[in-house]
Chain A
Amino acid sequence: MAVTFNWRRTEEILFIVLCAGAAVLSALSLFAILGTITVEAIPSLGLYFILTAENEAPGVGGAVGNAIVGTVFISLFATALATPLALGTAVYLQRYASKNAFTRGLRYLIEVLSGTPSIVLGIFGLLVLVFYLRAYTGGFSLLTGSIALAILIMPVIERAIEDAIITVPTDIEHGSYALGATKWQTIRHVTIPVAASGILTGIVLGFGRAAEESAVVILTAGYSQFFPEFAVKSNEKLAFGMKIYPLQDLVGTLPYSVYHAYENSNVIKISDGFAAAFVLIVIVLLVNLTAKIILWKYGHD
């Protein structure tokens, strides 16, 4: 048999190699980043680094306990603010709305909001919440950051909940109606319980999105070296003459700790910045992993 040059076969092999090569390169670059950050972080990592507030550690940087607590707080508040709105909107769009100009407009608005560069929402928060409403929000504060983040993650949660509701089989809802249940009873006792895992996943994903966001937090939450404190103190500058801690107080967050390490790289050890980044990645990955596990364990597909 004569060896002939087979272009079709050569092209096939060429593209298998090309695609596999691209996959390997993508995977490698992503692992290289995670690996480098971990290696660079090791000199600073430790229980002391995680559990101590920055004000208690010597020098600048040195510990991120306050930022960890702050990140968890701000993400929790943002999620708590965004979830009712997202749930209500999603249920409305999926189960109540008819196809009309309002729902089409609403969908478009939510899509636009979810694609908006975070810096745009950040400067909105800075101007409106930090400056114009500072008598109520306390300026740069946990509350300001949470509200700005809530606007950012609302579309994320809303879409995830809509996706979850879509997967609920209409047969079982019809069964509920056939038994004489009202629309609200059906939604409450059939639709939402069946979609619960998907809804929970969406909420967890929203939390993760809030924790990872950098630009918005840096522009709205400010920074504090101290653990958040719980108190109500009198303060003439604020509405009602009092300041509610920690809501109206500055709050430290991990993205800001990382950014600090970059801005003040002459005083803060580089490894401190990477360690803060490492802790932030671990938190976000754990949150996202939780979302995946919920979906795997209780999901219906």
Chain B
Amino acid sequence: MRQTIDIPRFFFLSSAVISALIVILVFGFIFFTAVPVFEKEGVGFLTGTTWNYETHEYGILYYIVGTLVLTVVAMAIACPLGVLTAIFLAEWAPVWLERIMRPLIELLVGIPSVVYGIFGFFVLERVFRYHVDPFIDATLGSVIPIFRDPDPSSGISILLAATVLAIMVLPTITILVQEAMLSVPREYREGSLALGATKWETIKKVVIPVAVPGLLTGIVLGFMRAMGETMAVAMIVGNSARIPSSILDSGYPMTSKILNDIGYWVSNDEARSALFGIAVVLFCVEIVFVALIRYAGDRLRMDKR
């Protein structure tokens, strides 16, 4: 047989190689830029509490705490809402309602984050300042300190940013969880119902356990999206670097720190390296999450076999 160069194969292979190279280049570059700050600060970069360009101290503990608190509060709102909505759509909603709601929810994934930002800043902030914050402060806040309102004159708070984030990741969670539940074979449900279980018992004891990998994927993806969100959060979280005293206090997540400072400090080697260091931390967390999703995905595939 005549051996010729397979030009199409060469084209497809090279575009795959170029794709891989681009990704490696981007991440390699970000790591490379961040190296000086890790050399200088070591572990102190993660545990330090001072970030000061004048004294050349770079510690991001407050920003890590900011991201963590914000994301956890956002997920505490979004997870129950998203999962319950998904259960409703997958199990109880009549077909016509599901047909209307599902595409709507899918379309809403596309609302730009900066739009959520100005919505939070101009509209929701007032609602929180005059209604939500005083209410939480007066009820839960009188018992538990983390619900107290340190600044009644402002609605800008971790809770506000978390609420907006929750609305942003809600479609992601709902769609993925619903898909996971729909992929559970009908026979499983019928078997359970035939044994006399109610619909909810079937969902609780059969559908959800089988759908767990997909459910986890949805929640982890939602968490990732909430953690990496930048524009909307930076506009409404308050940006004050300290350990927040309550969820109605303002916070300063990692993404906001990068966004607020990079424009001014990009031409300063040391400051730039420190800001890229934050990106590296974000990126490392993300790699772990992607690995988690892959693991869950593998489980999903194994279960289907």
- A: residues with CB less than 8 A from B are 8-9, 11-12, 15-16, 18-23, 25-27, 29-30, 33-34, 36-37, 40, 84-89, 91-93, 95-97, 102, 105-106, 108-113, 115-124, 126-128, 131, 151, 154, 158, 183-184, 187-188, 208-209, 211-215, 218-219, 255, 258-259, 261-262, 265, 270, 273-274, 277, 280-281, 284-285, 287-289, 292
17 contacts between A and B (CB under 8 A): A26-B85, A27-B101, A29-B167, A30-B104, A89-B19, A92-B15, A106-B16, A116-B286, A117-B228, A121-B26, A126-B262, A131-B266, A183-B8, A215-B230, A274-B122, A285-B107, A288-B106
**Chain B nearest CB: distance from A104 CB in Å?**
10
Q: In the complex, which of the residues B113, B224, B289 has the most CB atoms of chain A within 10 Å of its own CB atom?
A: B113
Pairwise interchain contact B16-A23, C-beta atoms closer than 8 A: no
Docked Cα-Cα span, A30 to B111, in Å, equals 10
Pairwise interchain contact B30-A124, C-beta atoms closer than 8 A: yes
Docked Cα-Cα span, A262 to B156, in Å, equals 14
Docked Cα-Cα span, A261 to B246, in Å, equals 30
Give chain B interface residues in 237-256, CB to chain A under 8 Å: 255
Pairwise interchain contact B170-A88, C-beta atoms closer than 8 A: no
Residues of B close to A128: CB separation below 8 A: 29
Pairwise interchain contact A126-B114, C-beta atoms closer than 8 A: no
Give chain B interface residues in 15-54, CB to chain A under 8 Å: 15-16, 18-20, 22-24, 26-27, 29-30, 33
Residues of B close to A110: CB separation below 8 A: 19, 23
Known: A20-B92, A91-B12, A184-B8. A288 touches B224 (CB 8 A): no
Pairwise interchain contact B286-A117, C-beta atoms closer than 8 A: yes
Residues of B close to A85: CB separation below 8 A: 15, 18-19, 22
Residues of A close to B110: CB separation below 8 A: 208-209, 212, 284-285, 287-288
Known: A20-B92, A33-B119. A26 touches B170 (CB 8 A): yes
**Chain A nearest CB: distance from B16 CB in Å?**
4
Kindly state whether residue B88 has any CB partner on chain A within 8 Å: yes
Please give me the residue from chain B that is nearest to A31 by CB atom. B104
Size class of the contact patch on chain B = 35 or more
Pairwise interchain contact A84-B15, C-beta atoms closer than 8 A: yes
Mark B288-300 against chain A: 1 for CB-CB distance below 8 A, else 0.
0110011000000
Among listed B130-138, B145-153, B198-206, interface-contacting one: B198-206
Residues of B close to A288: CB separation below 8 A: 106-107, 110
Residues of A close to B112: CB separation below 8 A: 211-214, 255, 258, 277, 280-281, 284
Q: Top 9 A-B pairs ranked by shortest CB distance?
A: A88-B15, A117-B228, A22-B84, A19-B88, A92-B12, A184-B8, A214-B114, A212-B112, A92-B16
Residues of A close to B170: CB separation below 8 A: 26, 29-30
Residues of A close to B119: CB separation below 8 A: 33, 36-37, 277
Point out the residue from A16, A30, A127 that lies within 8 Å of B33, measured CB to CB: A127
Pairwise interchain contact B198-A8, C-beta atoms closer than 8 A: yes
Q: Knowing that A22-B80, A30-B170, A88-B16 touch, tell me 14 more A-B residue pairs with CB under 8 angstroms.
A: A19-B91, A30-B108, A36-B123, A85-B15, A89-B16, A106-B16, A111-B294, A115-B221, A120-B282, A124-B30, A126-B262, A208-B110, A281-B111, A288-B107
Pairwise interchain contact B111-A284, C-beta atoms closer than 8 A: yes
Docked Cα-Cα span, A30 to B168, in Å, equals 9
Pairwise interchain contact A112-B23, C-beta atoms closer than 8 A: yes
**Chain B nearest CB: distance from A107 CB in Å?**
9
Known: A40-B122, A127-B33. A112 touches B262 (CB 8 A): no
Pairwise interchain contact B14-A88, C-beta atoms closer than 8 A: yes
Kindly state whether residue B195 has any CB partner on chain A within 8 Å: no
Docked Cα-Cα span, A119 to B255, in Å, equals 7
Docked Cα-Cα span, A9 to B199, in Å, equals 10
Residues of A close to B294: CB separation below 8 A: 108, 111
Docked Cα-Cα span, A231 to B203, in Å, equals 63
Please give me the residue from chain B that is nearest to A121 by CB atom. B26
Pairwise interchain contact A116-B228, C-beta atoms closer than 8 A: yes
Known: A92-B12, A92-B15, A219-B262. A115 touches B101 (CB 8 A): no
Residues of B close to A258: CB separation below 8 A: 112, 114-115, 117-118
**Chain B nearest CB: distance from A79 CB in Å?**
15
Residues of B close to A211: CB separation below 8 A: 112
Docked Cα-Cα span, A109 to B24, in Å, equals 8
Docked Cα-Cα span, A218 to B287, in Å, equals 25
Docked Cα-Cα span, A112 to B291, in Å, equals 9
Residues of A close to B118: CB separation below 8 A: 258, 261-262, 273-274, 277
Mark B242-284 against chain A: 1 for CB-CB distance below 8 A, else 0.
0000000000000100110011001100001001100100110
Known: A93-B16, A131-B266, A284-B112. A108 touches B290 (CB 8 A): yes
Please give me the residue from chain A that is nearest to B166 by CB atom. A29
Mark B170-213 against chain A: 1 for CB-CB distance below 8 A, else 0.
11001000000000000000000000001111010000000000
Pairwise interchain contact A117-B198, C-beta atoms closer than 8 A: no
Residues of B close to A261: CB separation below 8 A: 118
Residues of A close to B258: CB separation below 8 A: 119, 123
Kindly state whether residue B121 has any CB partner on chain A within 8 Å: yes
Residues of A close to B29: CB separation below 8 A: 124, 127-128
